[in-house]
């Protein structure tokens, strides 16, 4: 059997409780564009793409859709400049078992990529600050697609184009949210759901993921070793 390809969400999957800095970067950029304070308060950020979070923030503040569209490129650039200035060390925020699991995949030569709602510079900086940057070959980020399913499709295409996996390779998306399950289902790949994020085991179980784990340490070894 061909070696598998693993795709990972970031927040709640690779990292847990990484702090308010990501949210603050989005608020900072949106506030600069609007000329007044814009907040994520009341915006359901879990499982969302960053541009959708910004859109909801501004809409909630009464900004017209047309103006949001005009401001969006500047907000995306501003948030990505600001986040590395305020992001702390995240090495202690890596989810249980994830660091040795990624090291094991690397030893086996199994390719890993990111599929995340983070903007690219924010996502890569999180990986750098967590000491995980070397574990990932590529990524699909918020500014690259409209939905998480589109991002997963893009990541799969990147991996195949770079010949990081065979055409018949089994593909696993590891995530903590219903939106990760949907993205996997829409792309016909397996979903590994972990309960290290905001959704409970019961909530995730209702959507029948292929694997439902307390954390990545519970993944059957034959998934990697077969």
Read off the pLDDT band of 224 (50, 70, 90). confident
CA distance 171 to 4: 6
Asked which of 30, 51, 86 is the last residue of a domain, the reply is 86
Residues 12 and 28 in one domain: no
Residues 31 and 141 in one domain: no
Q: In which residue are the tokens 């609007």 written?
A: 34
Q: In which residue are the tokens 């995306």 written?
A: 76
Residues 71 and 155 in one domain: no
Give me the number of domains the chain comprises: 2
Residue 211 near residue 192, CB atoms below 8 Å? yes
Residue 174 near residue 185, CB atoms below 8 Å? no
Read off the pLDDT band of 226 (50, 70, 90). low
What's residue 56's pLDDT? 96
Residue 143 near residue 32, CB atoms below 8 Å? no
What's residue 46's pLDDT? 85
Residues 137 and 32 in one domain: no
CA distance 214 to 193: 9
Task: Look at 196 and 225; give whichever has higher pLDDT.
Answer: 196
Residues 58 and 165 in one domain: no
Read off the pLDDT band of 198 (50, 70, 90). very high
- Per DSSP, helices labelled H in the chain are 21-34, 50-60, 65-86, 98-107, 120-129, 148-161, 178-187, 201-205, 222-225
Residues 47 and 119 in one domain: no
CA distance 193 to 147: 18
Residues 13 and 26 in one domain: no
Residues 38 and 142 in one domain: no
Torsion from C-alpha of 164, 139, 201, 203, nearest 10 degrees: -120
Asked which of 86, 113, 141 is the last residue of a domain, the reply is 86
Residues 12 and 120 in one domain: yes
User: In this structure, what CATH number is given to the domain that contains residue 135?
Assistant: 3.40.50.1000
Mean pLDDT of all residues in 185-194: 98
Residues 213 and 126 in one domain: yes
Identify the CA nearest to 199 among candidates 181, 219, 220, 218: 181
Residues 103 and 188 in one domain: yes
What the block records as the tokens of 122 is 């924010």
Write the CB contacts of 216 (distance below 8 Å, at least 6 apart in sequence): 95, 96, 97, 98, 101, 174, 192, 194
Strands 138-140 and 112-115 turn out to be parallel
Read off the pLDDT band of 188 (50, 70, 90). very high
Strands 171-175 and 211-213 turn out to be unpaired
Identify the CA nearest to 51 among candidates 65, 71, 37, 72: 72
Mean pLDDT of all residues in 166-190: 96
φ, ψ for residue 81 (rounded to 5)? Answer: -75, -40
Residues 190 and 168 in one domain: yes
Domain that includes residue 195, residue range: 5-17+91-225
Asked which of 86, 111, 128 is the last residue of a domain, the reply is 86
Confidence (pTM): 0.95
């Amino acid at each position: 059997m061909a070696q598998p390809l693993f795709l990972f969400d970031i927040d709640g999957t690779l990292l847990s409780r990484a702090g308010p800095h990501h949210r603050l970067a989005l608020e900072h950029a949106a506030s600069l564009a609007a000329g007044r304070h814009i907040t994520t308060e009341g915006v359901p950020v879990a499982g969302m793409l960053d541009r959708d979070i910004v859109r909801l923030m501004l809409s909630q503040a009464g900004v017209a859709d047309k103006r949001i569209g005009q401001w969006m490129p500047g907000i995306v650039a501003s948030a990505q400049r600001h986040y590395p200035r305020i992001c702390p060390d995240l090495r202690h925020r890596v989810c249980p078992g994830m660091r040795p699991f990624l090291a094991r995949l690397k030893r086996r030569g199994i390719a890993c990529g990111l599929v995340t709602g983070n903007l690219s510079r924010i996502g890569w900086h999180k990986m750098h600050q967590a000491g995980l940057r070397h574990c990932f070959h590529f990524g699909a980020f918020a500014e690259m697609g409209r939905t998480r399913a589109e991002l997963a499709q893009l990541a799969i295409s990147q991996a195949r184009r770079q010949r990081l996996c065979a055409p018949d390779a089994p593909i696993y998306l590891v995530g903590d949210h219903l939106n990760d399950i949907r993205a996997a289902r829409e792309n016909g790949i397996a979903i590994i759901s972990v309960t290290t994020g905001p959704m409970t085991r019961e909530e995730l179980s209702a959507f029948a993921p292929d694997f439902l784990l307390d954390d990545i340490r519970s993944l059957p070894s034959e998934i990697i070793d077969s």
